[in-house]
Chain A
Amino acid sequence: MRVVTPKLSIIDRIYIPALVKGLYTTIKHFFMRRFTQEYPEEKRKPFPGYRGLHRLNKDHLGRVKCVACYMCATACPSQCIEIEAAEAPWKDREKYPVKFEINTLRCIFCGMCEEACPELSIQLTYIYEMADVTREAFVRRKDDLLATNEFWVLKEY
């Protein structure tokens, strides 16, 4: 490829006008609107479809919807879902999870689990403030995940 360098006029070659133009551009931005959100005081509104902390849904009787089919654990690319199934105490299904753990430190919040679930049991919420101080706290157990919903209602995004 032949590169054609444009012929510069004398004004371009002096550079000074271009420098002044550059300075004008930056000082223009000085007076423009700032985009910083001051986080702890000013919460960001998650966009529709944002993938945050998981929750486990309950059905109308308050039972966990999950039937321990392991679809989510299989689909999970980072293998962070750990399920232990047991025979269900209810007539309408065979199994239910006695243990359901998600290690949110390993989770990449891809939403595969949500897509794989046939029962619409596992879903990702909008919650993005999950900071904690111990490793154990990041392993969300069944009770935590079931309580996510109540927790989430308290959050105002």
Chain B
Amino acid sequence: MSPFWIDLIIILIKVIVVMGALLGGVMMMAIVERRGAGFLQERLGPNRVGPWGFFQPIADGIKLFFKEEFIPAQAHKLLYLAAPAFFVFIAFATFAVIPFGDKLELFGRTIQLQIADVNIGILYIFAFASLGVYGIVIAGWASNNKFSLMGGLRSAAQMISYEVALGLSIIGILMVVHSLRLNDIIVAQTHYWGYLPRWNIFVQPLGFLIFLIATFAEVNRIPFDLCEAEQELVVGYQVEYGSMKFVMYYMGEYVNLVTFSALIVVLFFGGWHIPWIEGLAIHPLLLALLQVGAFVVKVFAFLWFFVWVRWTFPRFRYDQLMRFGWLVLLPLAIFNIFATGVVMVLIP
């Protein structure tokens, strides 16, 4: 076989593995969220289907799959149907540049554990993540329902406001690392300060905080899930969606969650880097697998954090959300850039 075909097959395998892992992650999250909610509220949560209630998402999926396919009479049919597909496509596509492991040497061939090693990885992620809001806005407009429209509008305003802070908060990292490639950012974090791994959380604590908060707004989670807001807007843009279209939104949201958890891990927690492992003599293949494992563990820790926060904090009011985004997060992010610049000049 020619190298082109081998490369193609390798990429296809990576795509399939990542897609499978993401869907598995969505299923895991569906059950972890519900059981976690139960545990945090001193309940048990759904524990009937399968061991530990693990097959509950499958049962839910089967149920939703057999629900009636319903389109509101006044809806714009094409956009109404396209919106969820668009949303879920964007959610999956965003993950493509996330590196989930170091290079793997297999049969004399170096395999990058990442679907696409783009040299502007971060820009790619932000570009796609901000496209995701179209799935919501179009849904809100096309379903011809005032609650949907309100949800869509809120979502648009919220995403734009927080995207600014989100983007500015990582500029500090980019200044330190001098690269937009996610792999370079991880490699830059594999050094040490004494015994402390030089992870960006220690380099950019303020940037991390801003990024974390803006992430909650970006993935529409409590305390920033204004576009869903069950109590005010029923569920906002999802009101008119049922059966598999609802599942698509559900799935898209969780994939977004996984993507952003992975992004936090890559940017601030050293990605696949396992601290203090360099000294040990471990077979490179085993090491690569361990690193993938470390990445997954870190991502799951953050996914759990999202669940934990969701069942802890109340929702913001809309004007508070806007004020917080523009008057607190944005100036802080800009201050962070200045501070980073000053420190870089003082300590070359």
Contacts and interface: CB of A to CB of B under 8 A. Distances in A.
B42 A23 contact: no
Contacts of A36: 38, 43-44
Interface in B127-171: none
Q: Give the 3 A-B residue pairs with the shortest CB-CB distance, closest first.
A: A36-B44, A26-B312, A26-B40
A26 B311 contact: yes
B308 interface: yes
A35 B312 contact: no
24 contacts: A22-B312, A22-B313, A23-B308, A23-B309, A23-B312, A25-B312, A26-B311, A26-B312, A27-B40, A29-B40, A29-B41, A29-B42, A30-B39, A30-B40, A32-B42, A33-B42, A34-B39, A34-B42, A34-B43, A34-B44, A35-B42, A35-B43, A36-B38, A38-B44
Contacts of A3: none
Interface string B37-67: 0111111100000000000000000000000
Main secondary structure of the interface of A (DSSP, over half): helix
A56 to B, nearest CB: 38
A26 B309 CA distance: 9
Given A26-B40, A27-B308, A30-B40, 14 more contacts: A22-B312, A22-B313, A23-B312, A25-B312, A26-B312, A29-B41, A29-B42, A33-B42, A34-B38, A35-B43, A36-B38, A36-B43, A36-B44, A38-B44
Interface in B296-332: 308-309, 311-313
A30 B308 CA distance: 10
A38 to B, nearest CB: 7
Interface string A33-66: 1111010000000000000000000000000000
Interface in A1-39: 16, 19, 22-23, 25-27, 29-30, 32-36, 38
Nearest to B45: A36
Interface of A: 16, 19, 22-23, 25-27, 29-30, 32-36, 38
Nearest to B314: A22
Contacts of B43: 34-36
Nearest to B36: A30
B258 to A, nearest CB: 21
Contacts of B308: 23, 26-27
B8 to A, nearest CB: 46
A33 B41 CA distance: 10
Interface centre among A25, A27, A32, A36 (most CB of B within 10 A): A36
Contacts of A32: 42
Contacts of B42: 29, 32-35
Contacts of B40: 26-27, 29-30
Contacts of B38: 34, 36
A35 B209 CA distance: 36
A25 B40 CA distance: 9
A121 to B, nearest CB: 42
B235 to A, nearest CB: 23
A27 B313 CA distance: 12
A33 B43 CA distance: 9
A35 B41 CA distance: 9
A38 B38 CA distance: 13
Contacts of B44: 34, 36, 38
A38 B53 CA distance: 13
A25 B43 CA distance: 16
A20 to B, nearest CB: 10
A22 B41 CA distance: 13
Contacts of B311: 26
B282 to A, nearest CB: 34
A141 to B, nearest CB: 36
Nearest to A31: B39
Contacts of A29: 39-42
A11 to B, nearest CB: 16
Contacts of A35: 42-43
Nearest to B312: A26
Contacts of A30: 39-40
A33 B44 CA distance: 10
A67 B44 CA distance: 50
Contacts of B313: 19, 22
A19 B313 CA distance: 8
Contacts of A16: 209
Contacts of A19: 313
A27 B307 CA distance: 11
Nearest to A22: B312
B48 to A, nearest CB: 9
B301 to A, nearest CB: 13
A32 B41 CA distance: 9
